[in-house]
Structure 1
Amino acid sequence: MTEEFHRIRRLPPYVFAEVNAAKAKARAAAEDVVDLGMGNPDSPTPPHIVAKLIEAVQDPRTHRYSASKGIPGLRKAQAGYYERRFGVKLDPETEVVATLGSKEGLANLAQAISSPGDTILVPNPSYPIHQFGFIIAGASVRSLPCTPDDEMLRAIDRAVKHSVPKPTAVIVNFPSNPTAHLASIEFYRELVALCRRHELFILSDLAYAELYFGDTPPPSVLEVPGAKDVTVEFTSMSKTYNMPGWRMGFAVGNQKLIAALTRVKSYLDYGAFTPIQIAATAALNGPQDTVAEMRKLYKERRDLLVKGLKQAGWDVPSPEGSMFIWAPIPERFRQLGSVEFSKLLLAKAKVAVAPGIGFGEHGDTHVRIALVENNHRIRQALRGIKAFLQGDNGGPMSGPSLSDSELTHA
């Protein structure tokens, strides 16, 4: 009985553990660490949503078991959101199921549709549940390029031709965690045509649908005619309404896949606490000005951080969506890899970031920086990073010197 269980053996060591341990040690020593590692929204849930929760919880009838697939009003509200936002009509009874966050929905759909030996196509790097949900279910994962372009489409085509058995599904996630890539509706049209031709399911993670900074909102793959024949899409209320701890999400789309997920969930849970579902309904049906305010907040943080990092000598891309900056490790530190660089940044700059290798081996040249601290704390992080990069930490860093006064006005 000394061997590990089969499914546990398939999981690698948790790569964030080293950085988390170092962060905990620093805090135990009373060091002030600016945590830009976890994508955990810091803003409060809008008051009208909280008020609806409080109102609902006063009714003792809501304390009983709920509905695993989601209460009818919530499923109707999600269908209403899709029609308003994407012009997509959904049947709340057969094409919508409420989940305990998008992560649970993805993991349970993996249990429903995959068997040992099945192959799933997953971008690398990508959010860990995209691959490990299927690995836990016993399937095998084949990596794809992570950019929504012809290279990804060609890789899917090659995988179908050269994988035995033929792949079951392909996962896409745009706006992407961690890379912040956005996909166009033209890409989705080609993806749907390819997957219909090869009889591949598309599992789309659209958790960051409302976190975009340009003029054009990110599309849903379900906007493409015929997409519902092969597609299920996952969304989450965590970022859109600052409700991460509430654990409220959805899966919508293909009736066969929704039915499979619903059946598995019926054996595993009774759904979210009913007052949470009632409050989530109020969020979807109520005023949406708080969503625009959330978007403005993250854009301000993005601009401050990107500008400040560039002035400190670390040139990072400015994301057009998501709540993350996917930052290439500065050249003179690249040989360290993302875990050691993250630990060094924590030790020297007192700033925590997520090592890119935690999202797949092709992420080891990057770190993910989350926009989850206020502007004052971001400026504090920038001062620490500036001192680290322009200090004697491995060689000269190109870029202009950055004064504290410049950071204050960055």
Structure 2
Amino acid sequence: MIRPADRIRRLPHQLFAGLVAKIEEKRRQGVDVINLGQGNPDQPTPPHIIEALKAAADDPAYHRYISFRGLPALKAAVAEWYRERYGVTLDPATEIAILIGSKIGLEEVSLALLNAGDTALAPDPGYPDYWSGIALAGAEMRPWRLDPAAGFLPNPAEITEDIRLAFLNYPNNPTGRMAPPAFYDQVIERAVKTGTVLAHDLAYGDIVYDQKTAVSLLARPGGKDTGVEFTTLSKSYNMAGWRLGFAAGNATVIRYLELLQDHLHCSQFGAIQAAGIAALKTPLPLIEEVRNLYQARRDRFISSARENGWEIPPSAGSIFLWCPVPTTKTSWEWAELLLEETGVMVAPGTGFGESGEGYVRIALTEPEDRLALAAQRIANRLLQPI
């Protein structure tokens, strides 16, 4: 009998793989599923990025192995992007790492920094892949509860001397909430006192609503000294399938990440990195179009839900809505029931941690009319007797 390694046994349930399997089964049965369970952007990648890929794919230099640590030109483009977006100055050679999607970097940071028996803080509710990296490192994950009464912010005082690594994520997945600059300052102050490394997931930094602006950890005093920030091209540029992102910040942590990647990867295909340069140079009006698209979808879903008696707090950012459901059933039971009876797939709140009970997450990754229909179906079912 072939037995898995202990690290495989430690891995948490992969929420999104399970959701995809359920959707595929329903579609095989002929059900027109409205998939609001995955944060998978539905819009095409902008043409200028595709053209950059096509041109680079003809370059024989990218047909061979390139530098394990990525294209220097892409690192320079990332540094310029940070300077323009957040006023942050970065050394491209030492303070930026190229990632095959930010998801893998968010797991690699645990492998690079944690030993067996170490403790890391992860948001609860939060993105499940934080847990995966901690588990693979053999470390212990301590839930860092996002308090609804505090705007879904965690308590900075929970960063104690035994915490080696703490994950942050704003705009937040799954709650869609934002964090003010003062919160980052409190977290940085605690991290300095405790020697904790901060890992900030800024995947949705461009997807913010109602004239708000996301905060970069690296733009706050001491932020670059205490941690690293992970960003992806998947959401802002509709490049989820391209698998390209980057980490930026503390030079020591970046060095450890790149050393680990020297052993795990041969870097992303150079032509994709060349296209990434074109993406990072995208004019801001095109980014605003993406933001406006999701805000219109958010507003349409909330309006349709309200018309049918279901009140949902508006998200401030990300491509998600964090929606309360009756506690007569668990969030998993609601997700399964809604798929069975309405044909709408949602993500159960406890798929993001125990504190997610009482909620489901809605991804705004369908056209407005489909979202309005889904909101109507869900609301009608939620209000029926159990």
- Give the TM-score of the pair, scaled to structure 2: 0.95
How far off is 1:305 after superposition?
Answer: 0.3
Matching residue of 1:362: 355
Aligned partner of 1:347 among 340, 343, 362: 340
Show structure 2 runs of 5+ residues with no match.
none
How far off is 1:17 after superposition?
Answer: 5.8
Contact 1:101 1:250 in 2 (8 A): yes
How far off is 1:289 after superposition?
Answer: 2.1
How far off is 1:380 after superposition?
Answer: 2.6
User: Residues 181 and 382 (structure 1 numbering): CA distance in 2 closer, same or farther, change over 3 Å?
Assistant: closer
For the pair shown, the structure with the greater C-alpha radius of gyration is: 1
Q: Find the aligned partners of 2:224 and 2:90 in 1 and give their Cα distance.
A: 10
Matching residue of 2:100: 100
User: Residues 153 and 135 (structure 1 numbering): CA distance in 2 closer, same or farther, change over 3 Å?
Assistant: same
- SS of 1:335's partner is coil
Matching residue of 1:192: 188
Matching residue of 2:44: 44
Task: Give RMSD over aligned pairs.
Answer: 1.7
* Cα offsets for 1:149-191 (capped at 9, x unmatched): 78511222xx43xxxxx11111100111111121111111111
Matching residue of 2:295: 299
How far off is 1:81 after superposition?
Answer: 0.8
* Cα offsets for 1:59-85 (capped at 9, x unmatched): 222211122322011000000011111
* Cα offsets for 1:108-135 (capped at 9, x unmatched): 1211111100100111110011122111
Matching residue of 1:66: 66
- SS of 1:168's partner is strand
Q: Find the aligned partners of 1:17 and 1:202 in 2 and give their Cα distance.
A: 28
Q: Find the aligned partners of 1:151 and 1:17 in 2 and give their Cα distance.
A: 28
| Greater CA drift, 125-134 or 18-27 | 18-27
- Give the TM-score of the pair, scaled to structure 1: 0.89
Q: Find the aligned partners of 1:107 and 1:193 in 2 and give their Cα distance.
A: 25
Matching residue of 1:379: 372
* Cα offsets for 1:300-357 (capped at 9, x unmatched): 000000111122122111001000001111x2xx232111100111111111111111
Quick check: 1:140 aligned with 2:156? no
Q: Find the aligned partners of 1:151 and 1:342 in 2 and give their Cα distance.
A: 26
Q: Find the aligned partners of 1:152 and 1:291 in 2 and give their Cα distance.
A: 32
Q: Find the aligned partners of 1:372 and 1:51 in 2 and give their Cα distance.
A: 25
Q: Find the aligned partners of 1:312 and 1:95 in 2 and give their Cα distance.
A: 50
Matching residue of 1:317: 313
User: Residues 21 and 335 (structure 1 numbering): CA distance in 2 closer, same or farther, change over 3 Å?
Assistant: farther
- SS of 2:163's partner is coil
- SS of 2:231's partner is strand
Show structure 1 runs of 5+ residues with no match.
161-165, 395-410
Contact 1:15 1:357 in 2 (8 A): no
> How many pairs were matched up?
383
- SS of 2:362's partner is strand
How far off is 1:16 after superposition?
Answer: 5.1
* Cα offsets for 1:22-56 (capped at 9, x unmatched): 42232111111111110000000001000111111
Q: Find the aligned partners of 2:331 and 2:307 in 1 and give their Cα distance.
A: 22
What amino acid maps onto 1:134 in structure 2?
A: I
User: Residues 252 and 12 (structure 1 numbering): CA distance in 2 closer, same or farther, change over 3 Å?
Assistant: closer
Matching residue of 2:78: 78
- SS of 2:167's partner is strand
Contact 2:19 2:37 in 1 (8 A): no
Matching residue of 1:91: 91
Q: Find the aligned partners of 2:260 and 2:4 in 1 and give their Cα distance.
A: 26
User: Residues 222 and 358 (structure 1 numbering): CA distance in 2 closer, same or farther, change over 3 Å?
Assistant: same
| Greater CA drift, 109-118 or 3-12 | 3-12
How far off is 1:11 after superposition?
Answer: 2.3
Matching residue of 1:167: 163
